[in-house]
Structure 1
């Protein structure tokens, strides 16, 4: 019997290059990225937009006020050379306007949207939108729910589109009242705000569950900024001007809290980091209140699939649109 010829050795595949440690001050370049930030003219949303613009990406600020949008764009351009930023008028409390606002984006795909815009009221009385919805619930949750439906074709056209939902630590201690989502019977501003953010976060987790079920290339990630204070936020005139002595007065709080520039870090990582996966929750490293972004366990009340399904159905009925209708 002739000898069996020796088999050539199986080549060893090259090692997968390790991802460098995440550095909030040295973000990866994203020249091809196209991102929308709702409420990008102020607060955390402004810093999300500024930090994304510094990567070379195209960043669109979705803003209700054209004047405030102009101020934010001027601030970003003064700090980021060659920044590719622009704005589109976007009023999340005006549900019928959202389809046209998405059409005004003028892009053929969207790599990520950061659902950041929000309303927080401190005092009664309860306020409603023109559609008769409680203002905080309408803006923070219903508006983003409906906006996602109109954005889904653009997100699906990207190689791996992402929906990044900016929640709030205030939602951690709240629970949804599915029988009174709009606080018609018992309105307390701070509680209603926390519940509106909880609804928004619940939607973000449920959205990813539905996207995975149909094999979509789009993913949904939920983040929160921890404790972000104006007094610890660097000045960005005319968007935010920190008063003299404000940082000194807030020094004790800085042990546990941070500025809004740092509150933006979890959302920016959720947009840019290829290791972030749908259905995850990201927040600050130190007690969930301050520090660099890290993945944290999804809060137990965000994993209630029965409550999430009921919220989705109620939101669909209130907005007359379904973000899942264009997923496939």
Structure 2
């Protein structure tokens, strides 16, 4: 072995991610918030980045912002509505690619107050969009992911899920609905899915990996402006200054997911988040939360999700 080949890889630099020319990445909800910054940062690698968005106008604005900051960015959009399960196969077809190197499951709905709302399919809106939509989308993406050399499914969870526990007998929050708790549980369900997906992929010898990430504490008021996608006022910047000791902006909140997509050292079944108390700082691999490491709960959720979405996963069960 030559000295060069035995050299350790350079330290991870969040502002200089490695090149990924020729790769194709899909970012759900890539038109706003953390998803926008995931897309912007991935675009800087030379990859083709596809924004999945419900709003063509918002996707167009996001693409314009990315192109203004990333010379020669290869970015485009597809219409994606995770609350409409029947539309997902046609969304995948509209990608018009023969393989997909990674998908970042970032899109989501967060409601602050009652009343409880439902998708057109009759599922509680946050659980149905954040979890069930991504669960079904991944099934339809699997042929494209399997066609890549070593594709990755990166599921963006939430630090809010750390204090939540799933009620497997009331996944739709019919018995007792509290908006913030239901949101946290929907993100926990996503994270369970990411872990269970990797277990099933490993069991079949698939080259596809599933990784879970979370952004820590990411506030709009600490996020740099990207007009017209996001505009931070001077007042918001000054008012948020004390919070910067504990949390960060959404640009930094994107770092764990971007590293999960690009870093060759990342492995399936890992959890990535911010370095400082899981709330802010550069991305690092962190221990999988105890309640997230329960395979029996994840398997029950998988079976329930398969039934609720009407999807057959064939070899993955």
Interval containing the TM-score (normalised by the shorter chain):
over 0.9
Query: 2:178 corresponds to which residue?
Result: 188
Query: 1:215 corresponds to which residue?
Result: 205
User: Aligned to 1:282, what secondary structure does the other structure show?
Assistant: strand
Count of residue correspondences: 316
Query: 1:121 corresponds to which residue?
Result: 111
CA-based RMSD of the aligned residues comes to: 1.1
Counterparts of 2:205 and 2:22 in 1: how far apart (Å)? 24
User: Aligned to 1:44, what secondary structure does the other structure show?
Assistant: helix
Query: 1:325 corresponds to which residue?
Result: 314
How far apart are 1:75 and its partner, in Å? Answer: 0.4
Counterparts of 1:41 and 1:237 in 2: how far apart (Å)? 12
Counterparts of 1:134 and 1:284 in 2: how far apart (Å)? 30
Query: 2:218 corresponds to which residue?
Result: 228
Gaps of 5+ in 1: 1-11
Counterparts of 1:86 and 1:211 in 2: how far apart (Å)? 29
**Residues 204 and 315 in structure 2, CA contact (< 8 A), matched pair in contact too:** no
Query: 2:86 corresponds to which residue?
Result: 96
**Residues 149 and 325 in structure 1, CA contact (< 8 A), matched pair in contact too:** no
Counterparts of 1:171 and 1:314 in 2: how far apart (Å)? 19
Q: What is the TM-score with the length of structure 2 in the denominator? A: 0.98
Counterparts of 1:253 and 1:175 in 2: how far apart (Å)? 27
How far apart are 1:325 and its partner, in Å? Answer: 2.0
Gaps of 5+ in 2: none
Query: 2:128 corresponds to which residue?
Result: 138
How far apart are 1:32 and its partner, in Å? Answer: 1.4
User: Aligned to 2:282, what secondary structure does the other structure show?
Assistant: strand
Counterparts of 1:312 and 1:242 in 2: how far apart (Å)? 40
Larger Rg computed on CA atoms: 1
Query: 1:178 corresponds to which residue?
Result: 168
Matched, 1:29 2:19: yes
Matched, 1:300 2:270: no
User: Aligned to 2:234, what secondary structure does the other structure show?
Assistant: coil
How far apart are 1:194 and its partner, in Å? Answer: 0.2
Q: What is the aligned counterpart of 1:82 among 64, 72, 80?
A: 72
**Residues 54 and 80 in structure 1, CA contact (< 8 A), matched pair in contact too:** yes
**Residues 152 and 327 in structure 1, CA contact (< 8 A), matched pair in contact too:** no
How far apart are 1:326 and its partner, in Å? Answer: 5.6
Counterparts of 2:117 and 2:137 in 1: how far apart (Å)? 21
Aligned positions of 1:263-278 closer than 5 A: 263-278=253-268
Q: 1:304 to 1:327 in 2, by over 3 A?
A: closer
Matched, 1:259 2:259: no
User: Aligned to 1:202, what secondary structure does the other structure show?
Assistant: helix
Query: 2:301 corresponds to which residue?
Result: 311
User: Aligned to 2:272, what secondary structure does the other structure show?
Assistant: strand
Counterparts of 1:178 and 1:327 in 2: how far apart (Å)? 21
Counterparts of 1:27 and 1:130 in 2: how far apart (Å)? 40
**Residues 152 and 326 in structure 1, CA contact (< 8 A), matched pair in contact too:** no
User: Aligned to 1:295, what secondary structure does the other structure show?
Assistant: strand
Query: 2:54 corresponds to which residue?
Result: 64
Q: What is the aligned counterpart of 2:234 among 220, 244, 263?
A: 244
